[in-house]
Structure 1
Amino acid sequence: MLLKFAIKDFHDDVKYRNLSPKTISGYLMTLNEFQEYAFNNELVNVEDIRTGTIRSYLLYCREERGNNPTTTNSKLHTLKVFFNYLEREEVIQSAKLNPIRGIMFAKEDIQIQTFNENHIKQILNYYRRSKDKYSSFSAYRNYCMVIFFLGSGARLGEAVNLRWNDVDLVNGVLVLYGKKREQSSIPVTDKLIKELAEYKVFCEQHFKESSDYVFVTDENKKLAVDTVKTIFKRLKRDMNFKDVRCSPHTFRHTFAKNYLMNGGDALSLQKMLRHKQLAMTQRYVNLFGTELRKLNDQYNPLQHMDI
């Protein structure tokens, strides 16, 4: 079977299974890149693909395209999903003939960057000054969006999909739609509720009507993920931080780090971050363990026992 036809059949299958558009887009981006790599090496049929082909492709991604281990592992995951699908559909006749067998994920050097208090003050002052000087809706929206990321630990996709109907300003609860479109509710602080309530009133006065979505464009339409990425690219340029990546996900890391440093535990943080596995949350505990020393000194049971 032609590899490009197999990719088309796979595309139809994931659409039928109602996977999220973001997941499908990510799959296709990798598979189309892999198909082009195979074609350039005169490999056009599924049967032509060997384990060595896949390893060579992953090395090409790392050495020629500059992909880090996290990115190449993501691509390997996509290829595993694809070739296992072909095995189930009997395009590949047996597990022994599946070229993905035996290929291990690369070891990742996990580095989690976070904002410090000075970074956050600079960012908020940047938008606060813009708001005061220009009375700009976009500056105030971005200001509130930064506070939202910092106070909720939300993912970018969760932020842009947030509707006012999902915000309980009375009881201080947010309903978020995360990965795989799963719904979760989390409590939020009075500070964040107050900011969102004031921002809501501002939006209603600015647009003379209510909006379905919390974070909207100047035309009162839902913000796109790419638009928020552009906002943060501009923020990165203007802030010119040398020691930290300026992105929405850095605020998620910052939320997690400060949650732990202020006395939170891994289990409750797991619920706040909506991680399926505790091991995901445990990374923060492992990485920030030295910074948790003072909390350990404060809460360690030995400190309070006469032994």
Structure 2
Amino acid sequence: MLLKFAYQDFLADRKFKNTTQVNIGNYERTLGLFVEYCLELGVINVEDVGHSHVRSYLVDCQKKGNKAGTINTKIMRIRAFYNYLIEEKMVSENMASKVKLQKEDVKINVFTDEQIHQMLAYYRSLRRREKSYFSYRGYLLIILLLGTGTRRKEVINLKWSDIDMLNATMSVHGKNRQYETIFMTGKLVKELSVYKIFCKNFFGIEHEYVFLNRDNTPMTDNSIMLVFKNLQTHMNFADVRVSPHTFRHTFCHRLAMSGMSAFAIQKMMRHKNINVTMRYVAMWGNELKEQNDKHNPLNKLDI
């Protein structure tokens, strides 16, 4: 079968299986480049692609400056493509299975207390000066992300009907496309209540979605990223990116530093696999050791 047709069939299969539009776009960008590379070499049939083509493509990517994380993503996309081809009996072997993932020097940056205070102070100042919807929205976005570790998509899809102020819980349409329950602290419930009253007074009606754009439509991936891009410009943090996912990392980091068990962190973060949680715990192991050395109960015992 022609490689370009097999690639189109694969994308159609992902869409049929309800893969998110974001992931479809990722497949088009990463896997599409591999298909183009093969076609430029004159390899037009699926069965003509060999291990050498996969390796030479990845070497070419390295020469172009792709880091280990990007290379590994491309390997996983190609593996997924070939798993589909095997299922459809177009090929009998996964050409990317023998290509080992590269070792990543992973360092996940999180916000310091000072940086969090600076961002909140910025929006508090805007609220006092402007009393605009966007200053209230920005402030609550930070509080919500920091206090729940929600994902970007979950935030923009959040509706008032998903929030139970009385029981301090909220339901989000999670990564596995199922509704999941998140617990809220009293502080977050208070901030949400204040924000809800402000919105009702500001708009004159109660909108369905919690976070809105300038035209009163629900926020999108693009619009929420523009909010944080603007905040990044005003904060000018040199060592950390201002994004919804950095708040999620910060949430996880604080849970780990508090001494919470990996199992509890997995439930709070809603990780499907405990191995994902363990990666975070292992990453911040040195910090946990420092905290243990500093606060261990034996420190004050004369033994």
Q: TM-score range by the shorter chain?
A: over 0.9
Say whether residues 1:88 and 2:87 are aligned partners.
yes
- Paired-residue identity, %: 42
Flag the 1:178–1:68 CA change in 2: closer, same or farther, 3 A.
farther
Whether the aligned pair in 2 keeps the contact of 1:10 and 1:82 (CA below 8 Å) is yes
1:261, CA displacement in angstroms? 2.2
Deviation at 1:201, TM superposition (A): 1.4
Q: Which amino acid is 2:145 matched to? A: F
Mapping 1:186-225, distance limit 5 Å: 186-225=182-221
* Separation in 2, partners of 1:63, 1:123: 38
Match of 2:121 in 1: 125
RMSD of aligned C-alpha atoms? Answer: 2.1
Residue 22 of structure 1, CA deviation:
2.2
- 1:61 to partner: Cα distance: 2.5
Spell out, residue by residue over 1:16-51, the C-alpha distance to the aligned partner (whole angstroms, 9 max, x if none).
222222222222222222222222222222123111
Write the mapping of 1:85-234 to structure 2, written as runs, cut at 5 A: 85-92=84-91, 94-95=92-93, 98-234=94-230
| Residues 79 and 95, structure 2, Cα contact 8 Å, conserved in 1 | no
2:180 is paired with a residue whose SS is strand
How far the C-alpha of 1:299 sits from its partner, in A, is: 7.7
Bigger shift: residues 219-228 or 175-184: 175-184
**Cα distance in 2 between the residues matched to 1:306 and 1:241:** 44
Question: Counterparts of 1:301 and 1:131 in 2: how far apart (Å)?
Answer: 44
Q: 1:271 to 1:306 in 2, by over 3 A?
A: farther
| Cα distance in 1, alignment partners of residues 260 and 254 from structure 2 | 9
- Residue identity in the other structure for 1:212: E
Q: Which stretch shifts more, 101-110 or 287-296?
A: 287-296
Q: Letter of the aligned partner of 2:54 in structure 1?
A: I
Paired residues, number? 303
> Mean alpha-carbon deviation: is it higher for 7-16 or for 76-85?
7-16
The residue correspondences of 1:65-80 to structure 2 (distance < 5 A) are: 66-80=65-79
The alpha-carbon deviation at position 90 of structure 1 amounts to: 1.6
Query: Per the alignment, in what secondary structure is the counterpart of residue 285 of structure 2?
Result: coil
Q: 1:288 aligns with which of 284, 291, 294?
A: 284
What secondary structure sits across from 1:125 in the alignment? helix
Structure 2 Cα separation of the partners of residues 161 and 69 of structure 1: 32
2:77 & 2:266 partners in 1: Cα distance?
Answer: 26
Unaligned runs of 5+ in 2: none
Whether the aligned pair in 2 keeps the contact of 1:158 and 1:177 (CA below 8 Å) is yes
Counterpart position of 1:41: 41
